[in-house]
Structure 1
Amino acid sequence: MEDVKRTHLPLGSREVDAATLKAFAHPLRMRMYDWLKDHGAGTASMLAEAMGESTGQTSYHLRQLEKHGLVAEDSTRGTARERWWEAQGFSYGLDTIEADPETLTTVQLVMRQGAEARYRRQLEFIERQVEEARDWQEVVTFNEFTTRLTPDELEAITEEVFTVLEEHLARAKARRREDGGVGTRMVKMYAQYFPLPPDA
């Protein structure tokens, strides 16, 4: 069977190498990265308060994340003394693991941490859902679909879903430049597709 390389990278992300993944797979760095994703941007001081760490610690780990392209400075904010940082999207594929088999352990650690973070966020939302305004409650979606597909069919679904997302997010970003983000909230959207065991 011909070896097919899946090339689609989600929502402006870049594919990283084994060294970058290993640098990322530090508990505090992963927590800081998740916090930046959830809040859009932040400073070393803000991260220190949120993480319960010193500013020296968060500044050091921000420099390491920046070195590997996992965060970038938001040049529209901050001062020479207080820099603002944004998380940068990334992905990793089979080539990364095949180039360095030991990377599999790192990949599993990163994926496990991500799965646990998603679980915590979903439970947290369920606990406070009744406190949300009705217009937000009405647009929340918790869906699950299970069906039989080939790898090519699943890839086609992924391509189309991400294409639609990219179009909507680009339009939303353009509107934010015009209205300053009035009425907006940070929103979590997850996309997870994986095969069940062969005997399922």
Structure 2
Amino acid sequence: MDDVNAPRPRTVGADALKAFTHPLRMAMIDRLQDHGPATATQLARALGESTGQTSYHLRQLERHGFVEDDPGHAGGRERWWRAVSFWVDGATLRDQPGGESALRDTMRWSVAERTRVLTRWAEQVEPDPAWAEAGTSSRATSDLTLAEADALAAELEAVVHRHLDAAKARREAEEGAGEPRRRVRVYLDVLPLPADDPAPGAPGHAAD
């Protein structure tokens, strides 16, 4: 049975999240998440910025725990960075000065990132038929209680982390070394729909 109480990534506060919501910093995190570890020079080239700018903003991201040294590239002349997972607790942030604004900015970034990646995936022609069949996009809607929605979200998160952790362990053990790996993005959204007025004819709706 999946551990629905598996620990989440580090939770960030309002000060850290405000530091994160800088356009170039968010663009660098996007790049690191899409393509894996990179140097400040590589990020500058990919994003059309100077190395001085990317180096400065990487240090700020490191200060707040959003990036770290990549252990797979230790000892080289250039420093390689990788993105660090984090968790945003909306209820806690709203009680902190500036937290509400930082939360909205982060959610906008998250939605824009999803839109960009999913649009590219939908429009591109995948040359490998096997990988073309590996992706999926589905949607389900139902009436749930708050407890049921919380349980659903927790269990889905546990399933995702179980598979990703297992894949990481096999990769580090060099199992299946001959089998090609590709970066795979997993999105998980469990959200309440707007509490609209009842539709005409529905129980509780007063007819004109």
Helix, strand or coil at the partner of 2:155: helix
Residue 193 (structure 1) aligns with: 190
| 1:30 positional shift | 0.3
Unaligned runs of 5+ in 2: 198-208
Return the alpha-carbon distance in structure 1 between the equivalents of residues 51 and 94 of structure 2: 34
Residue 10 (structure 2) aligns with: 14
Find the partner of 1:87 among 55, 79, 83.
83
- Measured against aligned partners, the alpha-carbon deviations of 1:106-151 in whole angstroms (never above 9, x if no partner) come to 21111111101111111111121x3331111112111011111112
1:11–1:61 Cα change, 3 Å = farther
Is 1:184 the equivalent of 2:177?
no
Return the alpha-carbon distance in structure 2 between the equivalents of residues 185 and 131 of structure 1: 13
Find the partner of 1:150 among 133, 138, 145.
145
Map residues 44-193 of structure 1 onto 2, 5 A cutoff.
44-79=40-75, 81-93=77-89, 94-100=91-97, 102-128=98-124, 130-177=125-172, 178-179=174-175, 180=177, 182-193=179-190
Letter in 1 for 2:147: D
| 1:10 positional shift | 8.2
Helix, strand or coil at the partner of 1:34: helix
Return the alpha-carbon distance in structure 2 between the equivalents of residues 9 and 91 of structure 1: 15
Return the alpha-carbon distance in structure 1 between the equivalents of residues 73 and 106 of structure 2: 30
Return the alpha-carbon distance in structure 1 between the equivalents of residues 148 and 82 of structure 2: 34
- Structure exhibiting the larger radius of gyration computed from Cα positions: 2
Q: Percent identity?
A: 43
Return the alpha-carbon distance in structure 1 between the equivalents of residues 6 and 194 of structure 2: 25
1:56–1:125 Cα change, 3 Å = same
Return the alpha-carbon distance in structure 2 between the equivalents of residues 41 and 80 of structure 1: 13
Count the aligned residue pairs: 191
**If each structure's helix is expressed as a fraction of its own residues, which one has the higher value?**
1
Letter in 2 for 1:193: V
Helix, strand or coil at the partner of 1:138: helix
Structure 1: 4+ residue segments shifted above 4 A? 8-12
1:181–1:114 Cα change, 3 Å = farther
| 1:76 positional shift | 2.9
1:164–1:131 Cα change, 3 Å = closer
Helix, strand or coil at the partner of 2:56: helix
Q: Which segment is superposed worse, 155-164 or 15-24? A: 155-164
Return the alpha-carbon distance in structure 1 between the equivalents of residues 178 and 84 of structure 2: 21
- Measured against aligned partners, the alpha-carbon deviations of 1:47-87 in whole angstroms (never above 9, x if no partner) come to 00111001010000000000001101013304453011111
Normalising by the residue count of structure 2, what TM-score does the alignment of the two structures yield? 0.85
1:116–1:70 Cα change, 3 Å = same
| 1:99 positional shift | 2.2
